[in-house]
């Protein structure tokens, strides 16, 4: 090394600023920092492959009535949620299967069979529960079922045809025993309800659960709070979720749409309710995303037969 060349002080970090040299094919030699920027930009645009032959299966477990020994109230208004979800998911291209008031063993059997199906030509999978909840369980007609037991059936080692594909679980159930108090915001608005459309609350608690890569858990309410359901129009969360999916589901990114749903539900306020402690209270949904890419439900091109 010549005496004119200087070495940096020990411990000093230098930027790698190697110049761009022409290559034999005429292209320029991109600096490493530029390559990193390009890779990061591509990461932000990474999307799930949603051009399979089928959109996928959507299971809806709707529970309105319960075995009398459970001492759980009927969930009036859930029929509206059932119809709303059936239409919305069908419009998005899903093969919707609806089940009403199944016993716990039948719910588990149905989910187990779905997990063993071949989903190779499907984009994704959806499972919806409309019920009461408690801790990390959801109620079927006669007993409660651990949620993680059901999500585990769709992990990569159990359901290989859904590896790397979105697995969406939507849970409409209460997640606690607290009411969310109203706070005045400068741009807040309240939705109006029909005079005959009373509000009820779904019972008990559901905790946020880890599920694994490419899962997204969508909850009607944040952990620790009541979830509200109108006896005529259905639950606040399902109403606003379906409306948002109908308006933007074919173009918007799914987690961004869930944020819109959060905002819509947060604008609502309990009006008429038999539980006087619930009057004037609010609700905010939540979701736990383990998705690894952006998720869109773009319309499928029609096949020419």
132 flagged as catalytic: yes
Strand order in the sheet with 234-235: 199-202, 227-230, 234-235
Q: List, as one string, the DSSP characters of 166-201.
A: -EEEEEES--EEE-B-----TT-------TT--EEE
Active site residue 174: yes
Rounded-to-integer distance, Cα 71 and Cα 68, Å: 5
Cα separation, 5 vs 8, whole angstroms: 10
| Cβ 166 vs Cβ 94: under 8 Å | no
Residues 6 or more apart from 200 whose CB is under 8 A from it? 73, 75, 76, 77, 228, 229, 230, 231, 273, 274, 275
Q: Taking a C-beta distance cutoff of 8 angstroms, is the pair 230, 199 a contact? A: yes
Catalytic residue among 124, 127, 174, 230: 174
Distance CA 224, CA 210 (A): 17
Catalytic pick among 63, 132, 137, 228: 132
Rounded CA separation 11/195 (Å): 73
Identify the helix (H) or strand (E) that includes residue 236: helix 236-248
Give catalytic residue positions. Answer: 132, 174
């Amino acid at each position: 090394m010549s005496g004119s060349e200087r070495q940096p002080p020990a411990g000093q970090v230098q930027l790698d600023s190697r110049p761009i040299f022409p290559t034999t094919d005429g292209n320029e030699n991109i600096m490493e920092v530029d390559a990193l920027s390009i890779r990061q930009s591509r990461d932000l645009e990474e999307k799930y492959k949603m051009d399979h032959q089928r959109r996928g299966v959507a299971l809806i477990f709707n529970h309105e009535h319960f075995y009398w020994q459970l001492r759980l109230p009927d969930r009036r208004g859930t029929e509206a949620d059932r119809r709303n979800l059936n239409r919305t998911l069908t419009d998005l291209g899903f093969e919707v299967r609806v089940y009403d008031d199944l016993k716990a063993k039948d719910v588990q059997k149905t989910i187990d069979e779905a997990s063993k199906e071949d989903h190779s030509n499907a984009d994704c999978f959806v499972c919806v529960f409309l019920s009461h909840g408690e801790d990390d369980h959801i109620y079927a007609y006669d007993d409660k079922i651990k949620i993680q037991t059901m999500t585990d059936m769709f992990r990569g080692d159990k359901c290989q045809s859904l590896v790397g594909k979105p697995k969406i679980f939507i849970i409409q159930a209460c997640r606690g025993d607290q009411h969310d108090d109203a706070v005045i915001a400068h741009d807040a608005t309240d939705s109006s309800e029909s005079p005959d459309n009373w509000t009820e609350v779904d019972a008990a608690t559901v905790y946020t659960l880890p599920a694994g890569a490419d899962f997204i858990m969508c909850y009607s309410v944040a952990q620790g709070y009541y979830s509200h359901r109108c006896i005529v129009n259905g639950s606040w969360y399902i109403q606003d979720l379906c409306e948002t999916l109908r308006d933007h589901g074919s173009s918007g990114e799914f987690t961004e749409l869930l944020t819109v749903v959060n905002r819509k539900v947060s604008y609502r306020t309990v009006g008429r309710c038999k539980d006087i402690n619930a009057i004037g209270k609010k609700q905010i949904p939540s979701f736990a995303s383990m998705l690894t890419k952006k998720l869109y439900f773009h319309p499928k091109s029609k096949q020419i037969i």
